[in-house]
Amino acid sequence: MRVLGIDPGTVSCGYGIVDYEKSRFRSVAFGLLECSPHVPLPQRLVTLFGSLENVIQEYRPQDAAIEEAFAGKSIQSSMRISEVRGMVIVCAGKAGLSLAQYPPATIKKAVVGVGSAHKSQVQHMVQILLGLPDLPRPEDASDALAVAICHCHRSHLGAL
């Protein structure tokens, strides 16, 4: 199974592609989809949409997963992230991908074993689970890999 994980952001979205077979993970690709913070949000969404479409076309995942929205520091920030999440949902749907959504605590528990884990703990466990020589950077890409790993775990458990 090949899974695309997305960590949504208004200027950059982390993405991670993970292959999962016989309880083993393999990192295929990860990085950031970026746009200028100096352009209005609608144009940023168009840019991010196009970049995400390119990733989907290049790596051909079977499933996609995204972190669910959470109450951030401000309502304005939470609303903007929700708009980015909507763009990801439409892009995945246009590509014919099923899209799972997971709360941050579920992702952390699937990767670290504790739903309240710190970002550095998640990053370290992603490195271990994927057998990467270095910590996956930037953090948004590491978080996206964690989302993909979580989906692999949850899909596997659901298939039992």
Which residues belong to the active site? 7, 67, 140
* Rounded distance between C-alpha atoms, residue 136 and residue 16, angstroms: 10
DSSP letter string over the chain? -EEEEEE--SSEEEEEEEEEETTEEEEEEEEEEE--TTS-HHHHHHHHHHHHHHHHHHH--SEEEEEPP---S-HHHHHHHHHHHHHHHHHHHHTT-EEEEE-HHHHHHHHTS-TT--HHHHHHHHHHHHT-SS--SSHHHHHHHHHHHHHHHHHHHHH-
